Amino acid sequence: MGKKITIEPVTRVEGHGKVTIHLDDNNNFKRSRLHIVEFRGFEKFIQGRPYWEAPVTVQRLCGICPVSHHLAAAKAMDVIVGAGTGDGLTPTGEKMRRLMHFGQVFQSHVLHFFHLASPDLLFGIDGDPAIRNVIGIAKMHKELAVQAVMMRKYGQEIIKVTAGKKIHGTGAIPGGINRHLEIHNKISLINGPDPMNIDKMIEWSLGGLDFFKNYHKDHKDVIDNFAAYPSKHLSMVRKDGALDLYHGVLRAIDSEGNKILNDVDTQDYLKHIAEEVRSWSYMKFPYLKKYGPKDGWYRVGPLARLNTVDFIPSPLAQKEFEIFQAYTDGKPNNMSMHYHWARLIEILHCAEMMKELLNDPNLMKGELVTKGKKGNEGIGVLEAPRGTLFHHYKINKDDQITMANLIVSTTNNNIPMNLAVESAAKQFISGQEKIDEGMLNAVEVGIRAYDPCLSCATHAIGKLPLQVKLYDSNNNLLDIKTKD
Amino acid sequence: MKKKFKILIDGKELSVKHGQTILEVASNNGIYIPTLCNYVNLEPQASCRVCSVKVNGRPMTACTTTVRPKMEIENDTKEMNELRKIIIETMFITGNHFCPSCEKSGNCELQALAYRLKMDVPQFSYSFSNKDIDASNPKLMIDHNRCIKCKRCARGIKTDDGKDIFAFKNRGKKIMISIDNELAKNISDEKAQEAMDICPVGAILKKERGFIDPIGTRKYDNKPIGSDIEKLMEVRS
Ligand code: SF4
Ligand code: FES
């Protein structure tokens, strides 16, 4: 008589997901799955709407990284209004958007690392769930918690001065941006009173990296071996191979570091990437066409980016990148927990880039919008905090959207997250006599490394609404354990 | 010269002339009475009832009722504001007003009134009526989801030679605004913008204008609707 374990909802991730683990009579691992039980249907209800509405409407997909959808949709609309495929904007248009994006990635990464992931590191994967959360961090590591709050706030201020609002703004419009950076905002973001200034943000970003590297030194086993497995990696990179979160060409490498996709124009993504639907999840399964659905899967996000790029175009982050690369002798890094390391390097890069852009005179004056010959189809690709994000639209002659296809970052990581679940389940649950909360959290830690955006992370505060259901092989409910 | 007489609005004594409407008198004296179907230089038509005030105990529309001696008018009272709020909310529930993705947000009179009247929690259920967008015109787009049937467009927007561009078609529940595409396809950009501006909501959109107004610079971003009128009083006193 086998068993089925259900973890629902998965906590400290953005959204609602469920994990099922099937065990055989001896409690040995049989099969596991991460199910996405949420369906939003944005692609459907945007149909018929005017194309210029898309950047504002689709960002409602997400309350954590709306700017990513805002910008990806705006980039697609740039193509439609004839403003080129990523390099046709005015300097002001492009740089304001870039600043907005850096603010976004900065705050999203900070939220994830310090609020959602660090409890597992600071209190241990099997630590007391009552304190193993952001409240616990706030109580016992106050300084870290305060830093995280202020860094997030800083990123949100950047979004506000570029998009008009901290969340769900309107800054990016087809062909450019609708505002300049105002002088008082520039001054306060560069030189604001401690700690709300860019130099402090850079200092704290370095501090975050030190924190991780020290932890890593003492916990190599967890960080290096937990849910580690070889995979392909995909991201957008700048034409010269630099890390570029806003625009570039697509590149993918295999687990050995060979380039299996290089210099691919983002407008051609469909020639190389396809999606498969499986009955048990609303989330699709993207894959590289030339390897087929079974072997074509890949990872995206901070780890994948640092694996695909050749260098980081900001000095401090580049230095950290070199340390990161040296750790695997320049070979691709396939350790899931190193997502956190990569994320922290990107936080530093964002801070450096924000400083550069805040000092750039182009943001304060100059043309905001460009337009050219109108087309009826546009693709916008962006490196969102969680990985490569594809937006694809078609419009009719009356300016109405007739087709929308979105491949969100988390979807790209669908198979990798399923593999992380499998790997953690095998490592921590398989063959165990008794299954406790710590073992189940281990499964969640595997998913959490990918910072999936499934819905709402607040579940983790206070109560831990984790429900575990044990079924026999005939799906008869044997036992329910609810933790609160 | 017409003889002046006195009336009271919310206890305030005002010296007025025959022939003026309550709304005009109030506005001239820095008193805000909310309106929707009314618009500068258009003949008032009293269809929305948002401007309702109580005149000697009886509800009347301020945009069409002319002042008479001995009028005692209740305007900014809990009762009248509640009534207005209900009217506004009815407009929200009969249409599909999705402010977060509407480019008129921040410039929309309906939204601004809802804020001013503190329409927080809906008291009625939404009708989720199935309405279309008419995007066939090259210059303008009509989103029927948002039309509140104020007729401001039909009354105010004409071609240079005086022809109507907008009109109502159908009757009763099915009544809807329609656009004369033949006439409208050649209108200037300025006229298209005028049409967008005359519409109190986001039902008429000048195509491809989109979200060009940055947040913070839109009409009602920093001050509630009506404050321009109320400011008049502050300046005078
Ligand atoms: S389209 Fe606008 S102006 Fe015309 S009736 Fe409808 S709401 Fe009023
Ligand atoms: S403004 Fe008077 S009835 Fe509409």
ipTM: 0.91
Please name the residues in contact with A476: beta carbons below 8 A apart, sequence gap of 6 or more: none
Does A50 sit within 8 Å of B210, measured CB to CB? Answer: yes
Alpha helices in B41-99 (DSSP H): 78-94
Q: Is residue A475 part of a domain?
A: no
Tell me the pTM: 0.90
- Total domain count for chain A? 1
pLDDT of residue A226: 81
pLDDT of residue A9: 61
Residue A294 exposed, middle or buried by CB count within 10 Å (0-12, 13-18, 19+): exposed
Q: Is residue A468 part of a domain?
A: no
Rounded to 5°, the CA angle B67-B71-B72 comes to 130
Q: Are strands A466-471 and A285-288 parallel, antiparallel or unpaired?
A: unpaired
d(CA A336, CA A314): 25
- B210: nearest CB among A163, A173, A400: A173
Q: Is A372 on the interface with B (CB under 8 A)?
A: no
Does B215 sit within 8 Å of A164, measured CB to CB? Answer: yes
Q: Hey, how many other C-beta atoms are within 10 angstroms of the C-beta on A347? A: 31
Tell me the residue type at A382: L
**Going from the N-terminus, what domains does chain B have, and what CATH number goes with each?**
5-76 (3.10.20.740), 85-206 (3.30.70.20)
Please name the residues in contact with A187: beta carbons below 8 A apart, sequence gap of 6 or more: none
Q: Are strands B4-9 and B72-74 parallel, antiparallel or unpaired?
A: parallel
Query: Mean pLDDT over residues B118-147, rounded?
Result: 90
d(CA B41, CA B156): 8
Angstrom distances, CA of residue A455 to CA of A18, A68, A109, A191:
12, 16, 16, 35
Closest among B144, B133, B155 to B94, alpha carbons compared: B144
Q: Residue with structure tokens 């962006």?
A: A382
| A299 token code pair | 């990872």
- pLDDT band at B123; cut points 50, 70, 90: confident
d(CA A75, nearest CA chain B) in Å: 15
Does B215 sit within 8 Å of A169, measured CB to CB? Answer: yes
pLDDT of residue A481: 46
List, in sequence order, every residue forming a beta bridge with A253; answer none if it has no partner: A233, A259
Q: Is residue A273 part of a domain?
A: yes
When scoring A170, A181, A396 by the number of chain B Cβ atoms within 10 A, the one with the most, hence best to mutate, is A170
Residue B4 exposed, middle or buried by CB count within 10 Å (0-12, 13-18, 19+): exposed
pLDDT of residue A274: 92
When scoring A56, A367, A370 by the number of chain B Cβ atoms within 10 A, the one with the most, hence best to mutate, is A56
Using only C-alpha atoms, chain A has a radius of gyration, in whole angstroms, of: 22
Q: Is residue A483 part of a domain?
A: no
* Interval B175-227: pLDDT, tens: 999 999 999 888 999 999 999 999 999 999 999 999 999 999 999 999 999 99
d(CA A198, CA A187): 10
Q: Is residue A320 part of a domain?
A: yes
With contact defined as beta carbons under 8 Å apart, do B34 and B50 qualify?
Answer: yes
d(CA A441, CA A449): 12
Q: Which residues of B touch A164 (CB under 8 A)?
A: 214-216
Does A57 sit within 8 Å of B210, measured CB to CB? Answer: no
Q: Is residue A473 part of a domain?
A: no
Q: Is A398 on the interface with B (CB under 8 A)?
A: yes
With contact defined as beta carbons under 8 Å apart, do B77 and B34 qualify?
Answer: no
Identify which ligand lies nearest to the alpha carbon of B53: 2
d(CA A217, CA A215): 5
For ligand 1, atom 4, the nearest C-alpha belongs to B153
Q: Is residue A237 part of a domain?
A: yes
pLDDT of residue B54: 98
**Cα-Cα-Cα-Cα dihedral of A351, A355, A361, A365, to 10°?**
40
pLDDT of residue A141: 81
Q: Hey, how many other C-beta atoms are within 10 angstroms of the C-beta on A148? A: 23
d(CA B195, CA B219): 17
pLDDT top residue among B127 and A355: A355
d(CA B174, CA A250): 51
Does A52 sit within 8 Å of B210, measured CB to CB? Answer: yes
- A53: nearest CB among B101, B136, B215: B101
Per-residue pLDDT for B2 more than 70?
A: no
Does A169 sit within 8 Å of B100, measured CB to CB? Answer: no
With contact defined as beta carbons under 8 Å apart, do A158 and A189 qualify?
Answer: yes
Q: Is residue A465 part of a domain?
A: no
Q: Residue with structure tokens 């049409």?
A: B195
- The conformation of residue A415, written as its DSSP 8-state character, comes to H
For ligand 1, atom 2, the nearest C-alpha belongs to B199
d(CA A13, CA A450): 9
Q: Residue with structure tokens 């194309």?
A: A51
| B119 token code pair | 């329409």
Q: To test ligand 1's pocket by mutation, which of B204, B205, B206 has the most ligand atoms within 8 angstroms of CB?
A: B204
| B155 token code pair | 């009354």
Q: Give the CATH number for residue A401.
A: 1.10.645.10
Q: Are strands A285-288 and B166-169 parallel, antiparallel or unpaired?
A: unpaired
* Interval B48-83: pLDDT, tens: 999 999 999 999 999 999 999 999 999 999 999 999
Rounded to 5°, the CA angle B74-B78-B83 comes to 85
d(CA A265, CA A36): 30
- B216: nearest CB among A48, A164, A400: A164
Per-residue tens of pLDDT for chain A, all 484 residues: 566 767 666 655 555 667 778 888 877 888 887 776 555 567 777 899 999 999 999 887 766 778 999 999 999 999 999 999 988 999 999 999 999 999 999 999 998 888 888 888 888 777 777 777 777 877 878 888 899 999 999 999 999 999 999 888 999 999 999 999 999 999 999 999 999 999 999 999 999 999 999 999 999 988 998 888 899 999 999 999 999 999 999 999 999 999 999 999 999 999 999 988 777 666 778 899 999 998 999 999 999 999 999 999 999 999 999 999 999 999 999 998 999 999 999 999 999 999 999 999 999 999 999 999 999 999 999 999 999 999 999 999 999 999 998 888 877 778 888 888 888 888 887 777 777 777 777 777 777 777 766 532 222 222 333 344 545 556 655 555 443 3
d(CA A429, CA A29): 8
Angstrom distances, CA of residue A425 to CA of A33, A422, A442, A477, B13:
10, 5, 8, 20, 80
pLDDT of residue A462: 28
Q: Which residues of A touch B211 (CB under 8 A)?
A: 52, 55-56, 170, 173, 178
State what percent of residues in chain B have pLDDT above 70.
Answer: 97
Residues lining ligand 1, Cβ inside 6 A = B 147-153, 177, 198-201, 203-204
d(CA B197, nearest CA chain A) in Å: 18
Q: Domain range for residue A152?
A: 5-22+33-456
Alpha helices in A38-141 (DSSP H): 42-45, 54-57, 66-80, 91-110, 118-123, 134-140
Does B141 sit within 8 Å of A169, measured CB to CB? Answer: no
